[in-house]
């Protein structure tokens, strides 16, 4: 049941007023970066960095976002943080991790081994076996430990996969990653070691309950996707499900259609389930995990409330798992094994799959409702023309400010000077072949902070968006 506004007590008084914050500049695209321009291409001979080095050394959208998030959570406690992908502080979840950690420390042998040993680069064998048993038992996925590799987070997994599969091949031809529907996760945007690694399709837009209800939904334009696949230079299709930033959850039918297309073109389909099924299951619609022989599924412990343990899990064809193992050994020897040891009991008894439906899903759904109510109230009163993407999962609302008089980057700047952090929408539209005014009119708002913080942030956003200045 949707709770009424009066059932929630949003204590406005607890919100700190708006002190002056040191404004941080928004991300700078590499071509505008003064550091890069100073050295490359004008001065490329004297650049101490390689081409790849220069690309990685430059400011990136995800770098800026993580900086903002990091400072807001540490040195700027007064900032209203509507910008990051940090999970909420949920007492029951935190207690679960504390309890598991105490149990682990009580088993001294296991605890000592966890801290004192490098594990095999593929991950902890017991963890991998338990994970494969779980997938087989619960979902009848025909996977074995050969199909699984652990990484230091799904961010790393995506980086490895994109660069394993795309880029210039042995024969010299360049292959790319196809994102079937913009906007897509900001964290992928700068992951190609070679430039221009992503091809992204513009979505179709529908209004499920009519435009007057101000809820829209993006849909994959399958004709556009097929056209890209026809070009012949696609190495893999990638989707996040739920999509970060919009909270769109691709239906099973859409996934099957993408999977069939990938099979037809003999390429991989990468499904990033960071917020999705079967865990953490921050999904407000019906959704089931999906497997096929050419599908690479990414899972993460982060959105369960454990971003600090940096643990991602890749499940896919055995040659992919083996290649990831090899990258891990070369780049980092082994993975962080604390997360694997911590959640192992929940994987063995299957309780990992219960945390979502029992705790996370109701919690985030409630937060989503509360944030939507604030948007209706404040943006409605400010007479701003707005619409929200239907909220089907993840931690975000995707707000479309129709006819915004400046870009969402400018809105970000203005809001930052009012001590509110959101993420400008532009950065999620990388890889589009043609400019699209819509991409400058959207922002991502996280609702994982406390409802009063989110509400106050939205109040200030409405004021700034309505201001004529």
Ligand X SMILES: Cc1ncc(COP(=O)(O)O)c(C=O)c1O
Which residues sit at the interface with ligand X, rule CB under 6 A?
A: 85, 153-155, 185, 187, 240, 244, 272, 274, 300, 302, 307, 312
| CB 304 to ligand X: min, Å | 10
| CB 339 to ligand X: min, Å | 10
| Pairwise CA distance, residues 145 & 354, whole Å | 23
Contact 393, 249 (CB under 8 A): yes
| CB 144 to ligand X: min, Å | 23
User: Which residues, including other chains, have CB under 8 Å from residue 302's CB and lie 6 or more apart?
Assistant: 87, 153, 154, 274, 310, 311, 312
Contact 270, 296 (CB under 8 A): yes
Which residue in the shown chain puts its C-beta closest to ligand X? 153
| CB 160 to ligand X: min, Å | 12
Residues present in the chain in total: 469
Among residues 27 and 312, whose Cβ is nearest to ligand X? 312
383 φ, ψ (degrees, to nearest 5)? 55, 40
Structure tokens at 409: 């980057």
Positive or negative, the CA dihedral 393, 187, 434, 199 is negative
Contact 335, 123 (CB under 8 A): yes
| CB 154 to ligand X: min, Å | 4
Among residues 66 and 101, whose Cβ is nearest to ligand X? 66
| CB 242 to ligand X: min, Å | 8
| CB 245 to ligand X: min, Å | 8
Among residues 30 and 187, whose Cβ is nearest to ligand X? 187
Among residues 96 and 302, whose Cβ is nearest to ligand X? 302
| CB 241 to ligand X: min, Å | 9
Among candidates 450, 428, 426, 453, which has minimal Cα distance to 437? Answer: 426
Among residues 30 and 312, whose Cβ is nearest to ligand X? 312
Q: Is 75 helix (H, G, I), strand (E, B) or coil?
A: coil
444 φ, ψ (degrees, to nearest 5)? -105, 130
Q: How many CB atoms lie within 10 A of CB 165?
A: 22
| CB 35 to ligand X: min, Å | 26
Among residues 141 and 185, whose Cβ is nearest to ligand X? 185
Is 98 exposed, middle or buried (CB count within 10 Å of its CB: 0-12, 13-18, 19+)? exposed
| CB 394 to ligand X: min, Å | 7
The secondary structure of 7-25 as a DSSP string is GS---GGGS-------PPP
Among residues 389 and 414, whose Cβ is nearest to ligand X? 389
Structure tokens at 146: 């050969």
| CB 248 to ligand X: min, Å | 12
Contact 160, 325 (CB under 8 A): no
Among residues 60 and 302, whose Cβ is nearest to ligand X? 302
Contact 97, 342 (CB under 8 A): yes
217 φ, ψ (degrees, to nearest 5)? -145, 135
Among residues 274 and 287, whose Cβ is nearest to ligand X? 274
For residues 241, 71, 68 and 11, what is the CA-based torsion angle, rounded to 10 degrees? 70
Among residues 40 and 242, whose Cβ is nearest to ligand X? 242
Contact 159, 411 (CB under 8 A): no
Among residues 40 and 155, whose Cβ is nearest to ligand X? 155
283 φ, ψ (degrees, to nearest 5)? -135, 130
Beta strands, E only, 245-307:
268-272, 295-300
**Rg value, the chain, Cα:** 22
């Amino acid at each position: 049941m949707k709770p009424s506004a009066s059932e929630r007590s949003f204590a406005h008084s607890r919100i700190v007023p708006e002190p002056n914050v040191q404004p941080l500049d928004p991300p700078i695209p590499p071509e505008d970066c003064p550091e890069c321009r100073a050295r490359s291409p004008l001065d490329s001979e004297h650049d101490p960095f390689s081409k790849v080095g220069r690309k990685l050394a430059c400011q990136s959208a995800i770098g800026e976002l993580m900086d903002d998030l990091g400072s807001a959570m540490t040195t700027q406690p007064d900032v209203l943080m509507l910008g990051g992908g940090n999970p909420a502080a949920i007492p029951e979840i935190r207690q679960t991790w504390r309890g598991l950690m105490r149990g682990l420390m009580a088993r001294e042998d296991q605890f000592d081994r966890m801290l004192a040993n490098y594990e095999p680069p593929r991950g902890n064998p017991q963890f991998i076996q338990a994970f494969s048993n779980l997938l087989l038992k619960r979902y009848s996925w025909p996977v074995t430990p050969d199909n699984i590799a652990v990484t230091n987070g799904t961010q790393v997994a995506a980086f490895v996969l994109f660069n394993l599969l795309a880029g210039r091949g042995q024969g010299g031809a360049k292959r790319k990653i196809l994102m079937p529907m913009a906007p897509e996760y900001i964290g992928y945007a700068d992951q190609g070691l070679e430039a221009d690694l992503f091809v992204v399709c513009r979505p179709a837009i529908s209004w499920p309950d009519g435009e007057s209800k101000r809820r829209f939904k993006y849909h994959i334009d399958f004709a556009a996707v097929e056209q890209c696949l026809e070009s012949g230079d696609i190495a893999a299709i990638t989707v996040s499900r739920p999509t970060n930033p919009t909270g769109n959850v691709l239906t099973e039918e859409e996934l099957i259609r993408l999977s069939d297309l990938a099979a037809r073109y003999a390429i991989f389909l990468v499904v990033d389930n960071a917020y999705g099924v079967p865990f953490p299951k921050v999904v407000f619609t019906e959704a089931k995990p999906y497997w096929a022989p050419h599908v690479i599924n990414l899972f993460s412990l982060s959105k369960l409330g454990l971003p600090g343990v940096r643990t991602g899990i890749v499940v896919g064809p055995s040659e992919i798992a083996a290649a990831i193992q090899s990258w891990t050994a070369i780049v980092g020897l082994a993975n962080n094994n604390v997360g694997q040891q911590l959640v192992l009991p929940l994987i063995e008894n299957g309780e990992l799959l219960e945390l979502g439906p029992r705790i996370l899903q109701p919690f985030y759904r409630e937060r989503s409702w509360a944030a939507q109510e604030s948007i209706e109230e404040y943006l409605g009163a400010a007479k701003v023309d707005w619409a929200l993407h239907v909220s089907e999962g993840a931690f975000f609302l995707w707000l479309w400010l129709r006819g915004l008089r400046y870009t969402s980057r400018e809105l970000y700047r203005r809001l930052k000077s009012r001590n509110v952090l959101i993420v400008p929408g532009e950065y999620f539209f990388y890889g589009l072949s043609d400019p699209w005014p819509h991409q400058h009119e959207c922002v991502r708002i996280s609702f994982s902070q406390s409802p009063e913080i989110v509400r106050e942030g939205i109040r200030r956003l409405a004021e700034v968006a309505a201001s004529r200045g």
